[in-house]
Structure 1
Amino acid sequence: MKSVLLYVNDDSGLDARYQAALDISRAVEGHLHCLRVSSYQPQVAFDGVSGMSVIYDISKYASEVDTQLKAELEKRLADEDVPWDYQEANAEPARGLSRNSALADVMVLSSCSGVKDNSVPLRLLGDVIFNTSLPVVVQPDSVKKFEAAGPAVVAWNGSFEAGNALRAAVPLLKLASDVHIVVVEEDKDHDLPPLEASEYLSRYGIQSQIHDLAADKSSVQAVLLSTIDTLGASYMVMGAYGHSRAREFFFGGVTRDLLKDCPVPLVVAR
């Protein structure tokens, strides 16, 4: 994990994403790749009544925002101790991020926490997770750090997606002070038992503890959030739903709820 892709956008989560990406880059001694994606193209269109170039005015404003954002971020990065570069892409955000992720090892996006209308960031997360093969760090706006050396929780349900997330997170889990594999029983058998996940990590020299918990009357989400608090976890690793569960991803389910409400960064893969 040497290439960290940061989504640059002028929104409420930028500061948290920026700091998390820096922390990860330092922890893995990697390179920070900053990507500004904008879907505005310079063009002229007249409304036929006033003769004003409406679309041109919008694209001009967007260009000014891009220029200012780049200058501010480059000024901040000049004082940092990590190698970095800054690039711009003209595309719809999810598509631009996906197209430029082929040579990245991890991407940093924002969660939906703290956003009144969270449909936009949720849709962005869904599109990127479904259309890329790299892990995504989902950073809450209120958490301006990523403590790679802190305790980590792995949410384990024995699925293919959980296995992919675990493998993708190995470079980070190697740095964790403690690794906790948390299983919340839902009256179903696991394709991959948690012991196999623990044994897999041990081959990388990562020691882990298995916590087998019962949901009882609580939701899986509530049990995971309570465990994060109890264990003092710095971040959580989890698998996102696959294509066959796309409808459940967008309209319900544990993944969707945690993308909105988790108080710590999530490391997500499908």
Structure 2
Amino acid sequence: MKTILTVTSPDLDDTDLKLAATLCEEHGAHLAVLVVKLAAAPPIGGYAAIVSDAWLQEREADKASLKERTAAVSDLLATLSISADVSSDYPEEPWVDDIVGRRARYADLTLVGPQLLRGGILKSKVIAGALFSSGKPLLLVPRGSSPTLRPRRVVVGWDSSLEASNAVASALDILSTAEDVRLLLVDPVEGESGQGAEPGADAAAYLARHGVRVTVDRRPSQGRSIAAVLRQHAVDTAAELLVIGAYGHSRLEERIFGGVTKSMIDEPPLPILMAR
């Protein structure tokens, strides 16, 4: 992990920046900061001509706040002992995820900290851009946690999916230095059309070849959601990081019916590394 990206805005404080800076110091990595302000939507309808002046004034105020925030971030970065850069953008809402995704392609990891996790459009756009448009992993850091890319204990949510496989591949450097990695399978299905004759064995062998100290844990859901089982297992094993594949179902299905990814994004119980 030699480049870590984080996204901020004029509406957020420096909490996420400082968390990302700490991780960069830990790894000797470069910190890339993208400052985003969502562009004011243009007026529509019969009153458009009347309010157009107000809209233009709002846009000018937005640009001024974006410039001010970008300068403040630059000043903060100048006080740090790490290499860093800052860029800014003033996109309309539909294009934010594309912009974030393109920027994230030049980083090894995108960090979404507690400030951005508070909610809003920017949160969803940054997460979507990082997961769907960058090909790189995302690290969610909830309030009160101390993230590290050298955790001692890690839980990996494993279901033999492409998304889970990509998440594990993205986290190999992290997993190989951990003292205890638990590969958790919830309601595993045996057989060739499921997760093999011994669910989890193939994944554990793959990880072991990379020097990962891995244990396979199989747990029944017993009427609980998979997200609830993952959360409880992370607590039971005192995990410092959870690694999961993201959006095994479509985003529409997740939004309508719920799912592990949505649940974890809404309420991350600990730092979570996601990839798809």
| Residues in 1 aligned to 2:79 and 2:122: alpha-carbon distance in whole angstroms | 32
- Report whether the alignment pairs 1:106 with 2:105: no
What is the Cα deviation at residue 127 of structure 1?
Answer: 4.7
Whether the aligned pair in 2 keeps the contact of 1:235 and 1:264 (CA below 8 Å) is yes
Letter in 2 for 1:70: T
Residue 113 of structure 1 contacts residue 259 of structure 1 at CA under 8 Å; is this kept in 2? no
Letter in 1 for 2:181: V
Distance in 2 (alpha carbons) for counterparts of 1:206 and 1:135: 19
In the alignment, structure 1 segments of 5+ residues that lack a partner are none
Return the letter of the residue paired with 2:232.
S
Give the Cα separation in 1 of the matches to 2:199 and 2:38.
44
Q: Which residue of 1 aligns with 2:255?
A: 250
* Equivalent in the alignment of 1:143: 144
1:259 aligns with 2:261: no
Do the aligned partners of 2:187 and 2:218 also contact (CA within 8 Å) in 1?
Answer: yes
CA distance in 2, matches of 1:27, 1:176: 15
Say whether the 8 Å CA contact 2:15–2:115 is kept in structure 1.
no
CA positional deviation for 1:2: 1.1
Choose from 231, 234, 240 the match for 2:237: 231
Measure the CA separation in 2 of the matches of 1:11 and 1:156.
Answer: 37
Q: CA deviation at 1:255?
A: 1.2
Q: Which has the higher contact order (CA 8 A, sep 6+)?
A: 1
CA distance in 1, matches of 2:11, 2:156: 29
Q: What does the per-residue CA deviation read over 1:132-172, in whole Å, with 9 as the maximum and x for residues that have no partner?
A: 211011222x1353122322211111111000000011222
- CA distance in structure 1 between the partners assigned to 2:176 and 2:80 by the alignment: 24
Report the counterpart of residue 36 of structure 1 in structure 2: 35
Deviation track 1:177-230 (CA, whole Å, cap 9, x = no partner) reads: 422211111556226942222222223322122211111122211111111111
| Partner of residue 96, structure 1 | 99
- In structure 2, runs of 5+ residues without a counterpart are none
Q: Which amino acid aligns with 2:140?
A: V
- Cα pair 1:16 1:139 within 8 Å, conserved: no
Instruction: Output the CA distance in 2 between the equivalents of 1:237 and 1:145.
Output: 16
- The 5 Å alignment of 1:147-166 reads 147-150=148-151, 151-166=153-168
| 1:93 to partner: Cα distance | 2.4
* Residues paired across the two proteins, number: 262
Partners of 1:234 and 1:162 in 2: CA distance: 18
TM-score by length of 1: 0.84
- Alpha-carbon distance between aligned partners in 1 of 2:57 and 2:231, rounded to the nearest angstrom: 46
Counterpart-to-counterpart distance in 1, 2:2 and 2:241: 19
Does structure 1 residue 17 correspond to structure 2 residue 20? no
Provide closer, same or farther for how the CA distance between residues 232 and 145 of structure 1 changes in structure 2, counting only shifts above 3 A: same
Instruction: Indicate conservation of the 8 Å contact 2:5/2:33, yes or no.
Output: yes
Deviation at 1:113, TM superposition (A): 9.2
Range that drifts further, 186-195 or 121-130: 186-195
2:97–2:130 contact (8 Å) kept in structure 1: yes
The C-alpha deviation readout for 1:80-115, integer Å capped at 9, x for no partner, is 222111112343321210122222211112479974
Residues 161, 111 of structure 1: CA spacing in aligned structure 2 closer, same or farther, 3 A cutoff? farther
Mapped to 1, the partners of 2:175 and 2:186 lie a distance apart of 21
Q: CA RMSD in A?
A: 2.9
Where in structure 2 are the equivalents of 1:125-144 lying within 5 Å? 125-140=127-142, 142-143=143-144
**Within 2, Cα distance between the matches of 1:134 and 1:83?**
21
Q: Percent identical across equivalent pairs?
A: 23
1-side partners of 2:176 and 2:26: how far apart?
11
Does the 8 Å CA contact 1:113/1:261 hold for their aligned counterparts?
A: no
Q: Find the aligned partners of 2:10 and 2:239 in 1 and give their Cα distance.
A: 29
Alignment equivalent of 1:202, drawn from 204, 208, 211: 208
Counterpart Cα distance in 1 of 2:80 and 2:145? 16
Higher mean alpha-carbon deviation, 207-216 vs 187-196, is at 187-196
